[in-house]
């Protein structure tokens, strides 16, 4: 079970490291335009193998992706001074125009997992180019709000003094400022949050919701302000998604994939709970939301769709 990673920057390399730490798969291939960077990262991670799991870590080129079940796309360019978000997106779209065909030429059956930001739009772009090779959109998914969901569960768990593994909650929509937190879906050990808080010693009141939402939405900004980039959280999220695919776990994750319609918005890519297995997306789940939550999902989908329209794919 092999995994390819195209783009060996902070996110790609950290994802490779997380795969080793979790013991996911048997081999990881790092591909980067800067071959020396890929080789250096592969060497560094390989030296961690004796302390973790026996994975083979190598640097390679696109032909070396031939046996990969999953290929992570973390390639992209940074924003130049004075460059608009749309201009940056246009340049990253051109990167994917080269990368996606290069991957599929050698790994035509691979599941493509997009990590490049803005991940919703970049996943939509990747699916657009993959479709030209006959690849269904179900085999193209982005990390979506997997990390945001983990942040949400972590904050709620700390507030309630409960292991976040037992907090069920989702962040939906764009992986960005328009994402929203549907509080109506939050449960603690299967008990709706409101009931749990009424009966328990520790509680989260509706008055606390806005503060928690702000902490989830602005988490990346705070980290970037302090250390320049985020990579541990997203690297771990990517490793978890890869694990689900390689082991055909049929787990529910808030990844993103192109959808015909979301909350009244057509042909858009945003994060929803998705059943994920060995071939990518098995089914997209549409949880029962309140009317304000449905409106928030629609608003978030419109934000992403407006950017896709501007790119004129």
- Structural contact between residues 188 and 291, judged by C-beta atoms closer than 8 angstroms: no
Cβ-based burial of 207 (10 A; exposed 0-12, middle 13-18, buried ≥19): exposed
Q: Under DSSP, is residue 269 helix (H, G, I), strand (E, B) or coil?
A: strand
- The whole-angstrom separation of Cα 2 and Cα 111 is 11
**Domain carrying residue 240:** 146-311
Specify the pLDDT at position 304. Answer: 95
Specify the pLDDT at position 313. Answer: 73
CA 77 from centre of chain: 18
- The whole-angstrom separation of Cα 28 and Cα 1 is 9
Structure tokens at 100: 């996606």
Query: Among 142, 176, 193, where does a domain finish?
Result: 142
55 in the same domain as 39: yes
DSSP string spanning 243-267? HHHHTT--EEE--EEEEEEETTEEE
Q: Under DSSP, is residue 6 helix (H, G, I), strand (E, B) or coil?
A: strand
179 in the same domain as 129: no
157 in the same domain as 133: no
155 in the same domain as 123: no
- The whole-angstrom separation of Cα 20 and Cα 108 is 25
Cβ-based burial of 177 (10 A; exposed 0-12, middle 13-18, buried ≥19): exposed
Structure tokens at 285: 């789940």
Specify the pLDDT at position 206. Answer: 86
- The whole-angstrom separation of Cα 212 and Cα 196 is 17
Give the CATH number for residue 172: 3.90.110.10
- The whole-angstrom separation of Cα 227 and Cα 113 is 26
Instruction: Indicate which residues carry an active-site annotation.
Output: 175
Closest CA to 162 of 136, 186, 138: 186
197 in the same domain as 103: no
Q: Is the pTM of this model over 0.85?
A: yes
133 in the same domain as 24: yes
- The whole-angstrom separation of Cα 266 and Cα 251 is 26
Q: What are phi and psi of 265, to 5 degrees?
A: -105, 125
Specify the pLDDT at position 85. Answer: 64
Specify the pLDDT at position 135. Answer: 97
Specify the pLDDT at position 86. Answer: 67
Q: Under DSSP, is residue 112 helix (H, G, I), strand (E, B) or coil?
A: strand
158 in the same domain as 114: no
Q: Mind listing the pLDDT tens digit for each residue in 196-248?
A: 988 667 788 888 999 999 999 999 889 888 988 889 999 999 999 999 999 99
Q: Mind listing the pLDDT tens digit for each residue in 12-24?
A: 999 999 999 999 9
Q: What are phi and psi of 37, to 5 degrees?
A: -65, -45
Specify the pLDDT at position 88. Answer: 78
111: left (phi over 0), alpha (psi -120 to 50) or beta: beta
Domain count of the fold of the chain: 2
- Structural contact between residues 258 and 124, judged by C-beta atoms closer than 8 angstroms: yes
Question: Between β-strands 111-114 and 140-142, what pairing exists: parallel, antiparallel or unpaired?
Answer: parallel
303 in the same domain as 186: yes
| pLDDT profile of the chain (313 residues), mean per 10 | 96 97 97 97 97 96 97 85 72 93 97 95 97 97 97 95 96 94 96 85 85 92 88 96 98 98 97 98 97 97 94 80
Residue position matching structure tokens 């709706």? 192
- The whole-angstrom separation of Cα 210 and Cα 289 is 18
């Amino acid at each position: 079970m092999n995994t390819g990673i195209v783009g060996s920057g902070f996110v790609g390399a950290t994802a490779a490291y997380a795969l080793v730490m979790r013991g996911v798969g048997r081999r990881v291939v790092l591909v980067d335009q800067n071959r020396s960077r890929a080789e250096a990262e592969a060497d560094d991670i390989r030296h961690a193998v004796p302390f973790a799991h026996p994975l083979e870590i190598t640097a390679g080129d696109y032909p070396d992706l031939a046996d990969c079940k999953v290929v992570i796309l973390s390639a992209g360019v940074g924003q130049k001074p004075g460059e608009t978000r749309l201009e940056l997106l246009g340049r990253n779209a051109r990167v994917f125009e080269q990368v996606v065909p290069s991957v599929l030429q050698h790994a035509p059956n691979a599941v493509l997992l997009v990590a490049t930001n803005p991940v919703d739009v970049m996943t939509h772009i990747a699916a657009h180019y993959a479709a030209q090779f006959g690849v269904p959109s179900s085999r193209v998914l982005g990390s979506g709000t997997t990390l945001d969901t983990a942040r949400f569960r972590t904050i709620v768990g700390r507030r309630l003094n409960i292991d976040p593994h037992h907090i069920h909650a989702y962040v939906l929509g764009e992986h960005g400022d328009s994402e929203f937190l549907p509080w109506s879906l939050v449960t603690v050990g299967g008990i709706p949050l409101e009931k749990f808080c009424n009966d328990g010693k520790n509680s989260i009141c509706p008055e606390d919701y806005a503060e928690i939402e702000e902490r989830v939405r602005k988490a990346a900004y705070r980290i970037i302000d302090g250390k320049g980039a985020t990579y541990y959280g997203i690297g771990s999220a990517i490793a978890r998604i890869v694990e689900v695919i390689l082991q055909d776990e049929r787990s529910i994750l808030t990844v993103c994939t192109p959808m015909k319609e979301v909350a009244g918005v057509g042909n858009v890519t945003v994060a929803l709970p998705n059943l994920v297995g060995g071939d990518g997306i098995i089914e997209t789940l549409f949880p029962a939301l309140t009317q304000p939550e449905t409106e928030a999902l629609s608003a978030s989908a419109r934000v992403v769709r407006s950017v896709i329209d501007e790119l004129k794919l």
